[in-house]
């Protein structure tokens, strides 16, 4: 289950198990909100989560996840954060925190894969993994290293019965990079924000029959709300 009832309906039940999905869209389209909802759905089902974050402090994500899970702070015990954000801060100012590992440079992609493996070893529960966003790694390193990283990452995800969502900021990368990422991943969801309306479509999805049409959605205090009724009407 994706965490968004309308998307599950579109996909005829939900995401495939053991898959790496690409979530792409321009800034502000709703990608990060969807990731948090996706993780919360797993946590509510007593699943484990790994949250690889490049664009905001871990403390902020913790707060939003707890809010989305009805104020239940216990859910954070089942989340392992890989902080790829605070490398900008001088090391002496950073405190060690339970359940949080830090990447000290966005070029350390082998280290990142090792941390994901370590994180998944911590649990026997099914796991959901987020990378928000892969664009930061693409901007700092060379593209080939990022593609290689994703191939290894995808292997780790599948051998550990997990599902991952990888976020790509559209508009920052050339078409070849976007197509390669589509190819490396098992499914793609695309989001847009135009004339004040948010829309999404499932571009492709492993082993799943789905419509290709654009679907309207809005952001509410509960997160994404997809208007599938309009679609099936
Ligand atoms: N509950 C809400 N109701 C209305 N708007 C919201 C709500 N929550 C967030 N937003 C707005 O939606 C925007 C997009 O949300 P989100 O961060 O999920 O998008 P994103 O695609 O990850 O963007 P970015 O590329 O900047 O990371 C936020 O910047 C915020 O202005
Ligand atoms: Mg975002």
Q: Is 25 a residue whose pLDDT tops 90?
A: yes
Top-confidence residue, 233 or 162 = 162
Q: What's the fold here for domain 5-232? A: Rossmann fold (3.40.50)
Percent with pLDDT over 90 in the chain: 78
- Ligand 1 pocket test: which of 33, 53, 55, 224 has the largest number of ligand atoms within 8 Å of its C-beta? 33
Q: Indicate if ligand 1 lies below 6 Å from the C-beta of 196.
A: no
How confident is residue 2, by pLDDT bands cut at 50, 70 and 90? confident
* Residue 154 pLDDT: 97
Q: Is the CB of 29 under 6 A from ligand 1?
A: yes
Asked if the model's pLDDT at residue 67 lies above 80, the reply is: yes
Any atom of ligand 1 within 6 Å of the Cβ of 25: yes
Two structure tokens written together for 21: 């999905």
- Say if residues 224 and 4 touch (Cβ distance below 8 Å): yes
pLDDT at 230: 66
Structure tokens at 193: 């924000």
Using CA positions, which residue lies closest to atom 14 of ligand 1? 28
DSSP state of 24: E
Tell me what the pLDDT averaged over the chain comes to: 93
Ligand 2 center–CA 161 separation, angstroms: 26
CA of 209 to the centre of ligand 1 (A): 29
Ligand 2 center–CA 115 separation, angstroms? 22
- How many angstroms is it from 110 CA to the middle of ligand 1? 31
pLDDT of the residue at 115: 97
**Gap between the Cα atoms of 109 and 141, Å rounded:** 9
Q: Which atom of ligand 1 is nearest to the CA of 167?
A: 22
Q: Which ranges of the chain would DSSP assign to H, the alpha helix?
A: 5-10, 31-44, 58-68, 109-121, 134-140, 143-159, 175-184, 228-232
Ligand 1 within 6 A of CB of 32: yes
Ligand 1 center–CA 116 separation, angstroms: 27
Q: Which atom of ligand 1 is nearest to the CA of 29?
A: 21
* Ligand 2 centroid from CA 119, angstroms: 23
Domain residue ranges of the chain, discontinuous segments joined by +? 5-232
Distance, CA of 44 to CA of 86 (rounded, Å): 28
φ and ψ at residue 231, rounded to 5 degrees: -70, -45
Q: What is the pLDDT of residue 1?
A: 83
Q: Does any ligand 1 atom lie closer than 6 A to the CB of residue 28? A: yes
Query: According to the model, what pLDDT value does residue 233 have?
Result: 57
pLDDT at residue 183, rounded to an integer? 95
In the prediction, which pLDDT does 92 show? 67
Question: From CA 60, how far away is CA 70, in angstroms rounded?
Answer: 16
pLDDT digits (tens, 9 = 90+) for 99-131: 999 999 999 999 999 999 999 998 999 999 999
If one counts every other C-beta atom within 10 angstroms of the C-beta of residue 157, the result is: 24
User: Which residue has the CA at smallest separation from atom 29 of ligand 1?
Assistant: 28
């Amino acid at each position: 289950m994706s965490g968004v009832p309308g998307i599950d309906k579109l996909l005829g039940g939900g995401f495939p198990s053991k898959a790496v999905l690409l979530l792409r869209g321009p800034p502000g389209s709703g990608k990060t909100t969807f990731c948090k909802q996706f993780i919360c759905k797993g946590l509510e089902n007593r699943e484990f989560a790994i949250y690889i974050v490049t664009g905001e402090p871990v403390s902020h994500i913790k707060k939003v996840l707890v809010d989305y899970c009805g104020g239940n702070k216990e859910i954070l015990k089942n989340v392992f954060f890989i902080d790829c954000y605070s490398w900008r801060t001088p090391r002496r100012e950073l405190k060690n925190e339970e359940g949080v590992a830090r990447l000290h440079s966005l070029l350390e992609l082998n280290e990142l894969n090792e941390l994901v493996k370590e994180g998944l070893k911590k649990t026997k529960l099914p796991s959901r993994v987020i990378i928000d966003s892969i664009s930061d790694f693409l901007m700092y390193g060379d593209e080939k290293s990022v593609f290689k990283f994703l191939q290894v990452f995808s292997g780790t995800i599948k051998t550990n019965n997990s599902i991952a969502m990888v976020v790509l900021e559209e508009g920052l990368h050339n078409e070849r990079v976007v197509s390669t990422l589509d190819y490396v991943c098992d499914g793609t969801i695309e989001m847009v924000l135009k004339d004040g309306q948010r829309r999404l479509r499932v571009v492709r999805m492993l082993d799943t029959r789905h419509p290709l049409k654009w679907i309207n959605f809005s952001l509410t205090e509960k997160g994404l709300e997809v208007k599938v009724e309009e679609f099936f009407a």
